Structure 1
Amino acid sequence: MVAKSLWMQKVAADPGHSQWYIERFRAMARAGDDLVGEARLVDAMVPRGAHILDAGCGPGRLGGYLAAAGHRVVGVDVDPALIEAAEQDHPGPQWLVGDLAELDLSARGITERFDVILSAGNVMTFLAPSTRGEVLTRLRAHLKDDGRAVIGFGTGRDYAFADFFDDASNAGLAPDLLLSTWDMRPFTDDSDFLVAILRPA
């Protein structure tokens, strides 16, 4: 039995949490806020028609943008309410309910590996800590040998960057480029956010 993610623990404690999260992003979209900076970075990394996995896709803001930009997108999230919102708000990608710690898309008929795997929105810090290494291993297994994983999260969320780098290395992923923001500012020792672009080691 895989440990329940911190996200699903929040949902269990507050059944309205998922809907609050969905409505928050819908309101931001209506207000014209920029919600797709992470996706623009990924879009710049690949040719049209790339195969992209949005790992921990939430209500679909990034996968939806990437699909509209001409990519073949699969989005996976553990929360069925978020997947339902993604299907409503961003038709086009293949949205799937699934736990990243048990990710096996071949069992769902998806055998082609991915050019890019995106995991934004602090997804890594919402995982059960005991599953973080396994999640990275499973992401690596779904990545093409010349593909890249793009993972972003902030400090203060009980996942030290050094521990993440160790987990990534153990999963067979090596840093290609380290940034401190989605608009590509350099990563330094005192950065409070990490955007790690990783390649298979």
Structure 2
Amino acid sequence: MWNGAEYQRRFDSLAESGVDVHGEASFVRAFGPKTVLDAGCGTGRVAIELARHGVEAVGADLDESMLAHARELAPDITWVRSDLAALDLGRTFDVVVMAGNVPLFTAPGTQDALVAGVARHVGGVLVAGFGLNRGYTAEQYDEHCAAAGLKLVERFATWDRKPFEGGDYAVSIHTL
């Protein structure tokens, strides 16, 4: 379990020191979405920034502490408490984004169910960024996306689109 307020303080501190904490939202905005599902939204940093730019954002997370803080920060955004593997919002989104190492916080061996759960909501692209040095590889992720009907279209090393050359972090874009 997490402490949403404590988690958010880390990002607030970074922002106050001049660090751009909205790289993921900027990356997503480049797709020109009208709707975004922030899957594994935590305290809502990405969804809130997208909403500030006129994007309809919905956040989903399993941790109630994180969601409670997100609700405090942005009560007008829809926040859904759900295991992403079981998530069924009955709709699709232009972009589904999993920022912040979401697949790495899933119990080992359940990433396929996670990907299938979020893939149900893809109307355009699925964007995910996570470390590749913690037991879940880009190849495994690609296999799980393929099983969910998605195909890889691009991969970067960072949220600011540096080329992926096999490092320890990847931002992957999959589409229907």
Q: TM-score, normalised to structure 2's length? A: 0.93
1:93 and 2:95 aligned:
no
Once residues 17 and 93 of structure 1 are traced to their aligned partners in structure 2, the CA distance between those partners, rounded to angstroms, is 20
Hey, what's the Cα distance between the residues in 2 that align with 1:87 and 1:193? 30
C-alpha deviations, 1:99-129, integer Å up to 9, x for none?
A: 10111113xxxxx311000101001111112
Instruction: Select which of 135, 138, 148 maps to 1:161.
Output: 138
TM-score by length of 1: 0.82
SS in 2 for 1:95: strand
User: Is residue 122 of structure 2 the alignment partner of residue 138 of structure 1?
Assistant: no
> C-alpha separation between the residues in 1 aligned to 2:19 and 2:75?
20
Matches of 1:137 and 1:31 in 2, distance apart? 38
**Residue ranges of structure 2 left out of the alignment (5+ in a row):** none
Q: Which has the higher helix share?
A: 1
Task: Find the aligned partners of 1:18 and 1:116 in 2 and give their Cα distance.
Answer: 24
Question: Alpha-carbon deviation of 1:134?
Answer: 1.1
For residue 193 of structure 1, what is the aligned residue in structure 2?
169
Gaps of 5+ in 1: 1-10, 107-111
2:32 aligned to 37, 42, 46, which one? 46
* CA shift for structure 1 position 28: 2.4
1:126 aligns with 2:105: yes
Q: In the TM superposition, what whole-angstrom CA distance separates every residue of 1:148-196 from its partner, at most 9, and x where no partner exists?
A: 00000012211122111111111111111111111111112x3211100
Q: Does residue 1:114 correspond to 2:90, yes or no? A: no
Alpha-carbon deviation of 1:68? Answer: 0.7
Q: How does 1:8-87 map to 2 (within 5 A)?
A: 11=1, 17-47=3-33, 50-87=34-71
The number of aligned residues is 176
Question: Which whole-Å CA distance do the structure 2 matches of 1:120 and 1:142 have between them?
Answer: 16
Gap change, CA 1:100 and 1:120, over 3 Å in 2: same
Between 17-26 and 93-102, report the one with greater CA deviation. Answer: 17-26
State the Cα RMSD in Å. 1.5
Deviation at 1:36, TM superposition (A): 0.7
Bigger-Rg structure (1/2): 1
Amino acid at match of 2:115: L
| Superposed displacement of residue 17, structure 1 | 4.7
Task: State the shift of 1:22 in Å.
Answer: 2.7
